[in-house]
Structure 1
Amino acid sequence: MTSENRTSHLTGVRGAELAWSESGHGPTAIWAHGLTSSGGGQEAAGIFDWSPLTARHRLVRYDARGHGGSSGAPEPEHYTWPNLSLDLLELLDEIAGDEQVDGLGSSMGTATLLYAVTTKPERFRRLVLTTPPTMGAERAVHVRGYLEDAALIEGSGLAAYKEAFAAEPPPHVHTGLTQNPPAVEVTETLLPSILRGASRSDLPADSALTTVDLPVLILAWSGDAGHPLSTARHLADVIPGARLQIADTPMQLRTWPDLATEFLG
């Protein structure tokens, strides 16, 4: 990861304190991370490196409610994707004023951005949506998994969840990561509620996605049942003008920062 200076902040949003950092200068771009991670967690694990964006953008990385340094309550409904999108929109009101921003997301963060852009489209200029999660009928298996994991944590503790998480084989594109699997950056107290919130969530309906009227780049990787190519291809079909790029190898995954930087301009 490229060295960069980051300034850290806490901002009150809808009854929670959201932790976020900023680095670089220029138009604002905001990064929304995946489930159980944090604003810098996936980069620390070596999955992504968004630091090249800071040459052209003010890059904001924030911790979603209940993740990393952000506070939260043990209320599953607080962690549904539509509710997380309201957190994002209010955070942007607080830290970016009426500026139109670029958004980058991963999995839960991609879902958060999609709900945010379909709620308040004028807020965003361009979107980079990485590793879209399951949706529709494919999501049922993962809903059961979230509920089973929540029960596992409540019955056997966070260590048992981390052990089960670490036993799952990573996709081929993750070969050679600094940290595999990435760290779980959620407390034992909150994680069951966060997982139950995810179990109550799905991506926006196609009727909403077809209204997205801005440039969208979708970055997906192969070999990951939790982030299937079927979702990425569906989003590329439904969102007008969306571009899709697929990574099958670690080398292709490492091109994503440059692809995103070029796309956002």
Structure 2
Amino acid sequence: MTRPDLSHDLRGAVAGGLPVVQLHGLSSSRRRAESTGSDLTAGQDGLCVLRYDARGHGESPGSPDPAAYTWPRLADDLFALLDATFPGRPVHGVGASMGAATLLTAAVREPARFASLTLAIPPTVWEWRHGQARTYELGARQVERWGVARWAERTWRPPTSPAIDPDLPATAPDVADAWLPAAFRGAAATDLPPREEVARIAVPVQLLAWPDDASHPLEVAEHLAELLPDARLGVARSPADVAAWPQTVGAFVRGRADRAGRPGA
């Protein structure tokens, strides 16, 4: 099997652990997730977690082509990594923002590849996505003009959601100047498959969300919770609630595996 040239690692109980794949959000990486407290499987026992930097993010090579960063293309990368790391085994998918959208896109295509899905702060989709797409195009032009570091400094705003720790350090995107405009434009051009296709995803789904974040509207998470046939939603109202998300994820994954007779264990 050919493994894509994406930077990745395996963490946890490699022998005998429940197979999990963890995906980060747009402009983030494994490194940035750790520094911002958004590593959703941190400290969880009994899991074998495949973590990787998405195309053009962190330590993974990028492309100047926006099409490389659309959710279907990111799903292609995900499947190639799963084929090489967990061949023939259903995995528990855990993703935040862009990572959540990538998992949904992949699960529409091949639902049997997943034992469960945890979708944290799902991004704008469908009718919610149009305004966000314009924001991404503006960001692409600004990064081309200023570079990533200056763009991050000039556009930083304090968090609006009470669930986001205001004391977290501001961090620049973990994407090179050469790749971030294309990543933004790829995000602007992409969306989930139609609702009726998403509604056929029958695997157990856990949604994690917070309020008052225009890039990750709570309304999207609530809508997905109603649309998906086996979904539950947890809403964080404070930084302490978000800090508990890794424990919530670990309990969900282990609980689904025990209920199903630990498939893939």
Give your verdict on TM over 0.5.
yes
Q: Which residue of 2 aligns with 1:39?
A: 30
Maintained 8 Å contact 1:28/1:58: yes
The alpha-carbon deviation at position 49 of structure 1 amounts to: 4.7
Q: Give matches, 1:42-191, under 5 Å.
A: 42-53=33-44, 55-179=45-169, 181-191=170-180
The alpha-carbon deviation at position 46 of structure 1 amounts to: 1.8
Q: Which residue of 2 aligns with 1:24?
A: 12
Runs of 4+ with deviation above 4 angstroms: none
Maintained 8 Å contact 2:148/2:173: no
> In structure 2, how many angstroms separate the alpha carbons of the residues matched to 1:90 and 1:209?
22
Which residue of the other structure, out of 253, 257, 261, is the alignment partner of 1:264?
A: 253
Maintained 8 Å contact 2:149/2:172: no
Distance 1:201-1:145 versus aligned 2 partners, 3 A rule: same
Does residue 220 (structure 1) correspond to residue 198 (structure 2)? The answer is no
Which amino acid is the alignment partner of residue 201 of structure 2?
V
> In structure 1, how many angstroms separate the alpha carbons of the residues matched to 2:65 and 2:128?
25
Q: Which residue of 2 aligns with 1:241?
A: 230
> In structure 1, how many angstroms separate the alpha carbons of the residues matched to 2:124 and 2:222?
12
SS at match of 1:34: coil
Maintained 8 Å contact 1:79/1:193: yes
TM-score, with length taken from structure 2 = 0.90
List per-residue Cα deviations over 1:213-254 (Å, max 9, x = no partner): 111000001111100011001100110020000011111112
> In structure 1, how many angstroms separate the alpha carbons of the residues matched to 2:167 and 2:46?
26
Q: What residue ranges of structure 1 are gaps of 5+ in the alignment?
A: 1-10
The alpha-carbon deviation at position 257 of structure 1 amounts to: 1.2
> In structure 1, how many angstroms separate the alpha carbons of the residues matched to 2:241 and 2:172?
23
> In structure 2, how many angstroms separate the alpha carbons of the residues matched to 1:49 and 1:264?
12
SS at match of 2:209: strand
Q: What residue ranges of structure 2 are gaps of 5+ in the alignment?
A: 255-265
Q: Percent identity?
A: 38
The alpha-carbon deviation at position 149 of structure 1 amounts to: 0.8
TM-score, with length taken from structure 1 = 0.90
Which amino acid is the alignment partner of residue 199 of structure 2?
T
Cα root mean square deviation, aligned: 1.5
> In structure 2, how many angstroms separate the alpha carbons of the residues matched to 1:218 and 1:165?
29
Q: Which residue of 2 aligns with 1:8?
A: none
Q: How many pairs were matched up?
A: 250
SS at match of 2:196: helix
Which amino acid is the alignment partner of residue 176 of structure 2?
T
Does residue 254 (structure 1) correspond to residue 208 (structure 2)? The answer is no
